[in-house]
């Protein structure tokens, strides 16, 4: 069964450092997303991406965040200068259509020290 894959599964970084979280969405999907989940809290929307541009973003997704689809298979989330409060599980998701079932990856646990 096709799945969304994310790497790395765990990322530890120092405050102020840049991190790139990587995702490989399901191959025939056209819509891509990043969500995050702080431990024990709800899943929060960050950004949606379609046709090589951001279609929607939340207030969390400020200038420190960026997304990119550098080739036909990868989808990345970059945090330029990490803060302690960026520590969370980051989930990538993809969907075939804009409104419908989102398929989530297993997440990258980001720890900012």
Partner 1 sequence: GESVGLHLPTLSVQEGDNSIINCAYSNSASDYFIWYKQESGKGPQFIIDIRSNMDKRQGQRVTVLLNKTVKHLSLQIAATQPGDSAVYFCAESRTYKYIFGTGTRLKVLA
| Tokens coding 89 | 């599980």
Please list, in sequence order, all residues whose beta carbon lies within 8 angstroms of the beta carbon of residue 72, skipping any fewer than 6 positions away: none
Which of 14/62 has CB closer to partner 1?
62
Q: How many CA atoms lie within 13 A of 94 on its CB side?
A: 22
Q: Is 48 in the site for partner 1 (CB under 8 A)?
A: yes
Q: Is 104 in the site for partner 1 (CB under 8 A)?
A: yes
| Tokens coding 112 | 């900012």
Q: Is 4 in the site for partner 1 (CB under 8 A)?
A: yes
Binding site for partner 1 (CB under 8 A): 4, 31, 33, 35, 41-45, 48, 50, 55-56, 58, 91, 93, 98-107
């Amino acid at each position: 069964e096709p799945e969304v894959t994310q790497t790395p599964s765990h990322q530890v970084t120092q405050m102020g450092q840049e991190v790139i979280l990587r995702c490989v969405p399901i191959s025939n999907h056209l819509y891509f997303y990043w969500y995050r989940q702080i431990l024990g809290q709800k899943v929060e929307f960050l950004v949606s991406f379609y046709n090589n541009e951001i279609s929607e973003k939340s207030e969390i997704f400020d200038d420190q965040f960026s997304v990119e689809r550098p080739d036909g298979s990868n989808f990345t989330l970059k945090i330029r200068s990490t803060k302690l409060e960026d520590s969370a599980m980051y989930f990538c998701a993809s969907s075939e259509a804009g409104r419908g079932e989102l398929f989530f990856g297993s997440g990258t646990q980001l720890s900012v020290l």
